[in-house]
Amino acid sequence: MSTAYLLIGGNLGNRTAYLQQAIQLISETCGNIVHSSAIYETAAWGVTDQPSFYNQALAVETSLAPETLMQQLLEIETIMGRKRTVKMGPRTIDLDILLIDELVISSRLLTLPHPALPFRRFALLPLCEIAPSLIHPVLHRSISQLLAECTDELDVQKKSVAAN
């Protein structure tokens, strides 16, 4: 059994409802969600002329292999209406694997740890809420250290309290 740390988010439609639906589908198909952060609202990163995002971090106990987990998350995105028309564009749901245990993987489908994690406050802040002492397997720093060192100035606001 592995622990996968995911970041889920979206900026179209009822963002809270989409996060809840994603959590339900992840728990049904990927594994047991053992921790979830509060929901955070963030201005769009990259392509900025779009609605703000809601993001949430999850810790999932899974028996799926990393690439199988990624394929399942992509399937959930499709089920939930994700359309990949504009890179970094608006979306109903976005499901990313940030880390799985201490794994370091680089394949066509999946790179672990997520290469942008140390540079994105909107990912580090919710992850730090549920796993502050988790060590990044390449940088050998805790998530709380990476958050303290992050130079991303994008405003990230807590919108809700954590469910567990």
Asked if 49 is an active-site residue, the reply is: no
- CB contact set of 78 (below 8 Å; sequence gap of 6+): none
Asked if 84 is an active-site residue, the reply is: no
Of the residues 94, 121, 141, 152, only one is catalytic, namely 94
Of the residues 91, 120, 152, 155, only one is catalytic, namely 91
In sequence order, what are the beta bridge partners of 59? Answer: 5, 35
> At what angle are helices 66-79 and 15-29 packed, to 10 degrees?
140
Asked if 141 is an active-site residue, the reply is: no
Of the residues 15, 49, 96, 121, only one is catalytic, namely 96
Asked if 96 is an active-site residue, the reply is: yes
Buried residues in 8-40 as b, exposed as e (16+ CB within 10 A): bbbbbeebeebbebbbebbeeebbebebbbbbb
Of the residues 15, 82, 120, 121, only one is catalytic, namely 82
Provide the annotated active-site residues: 82, 91, 94, 96
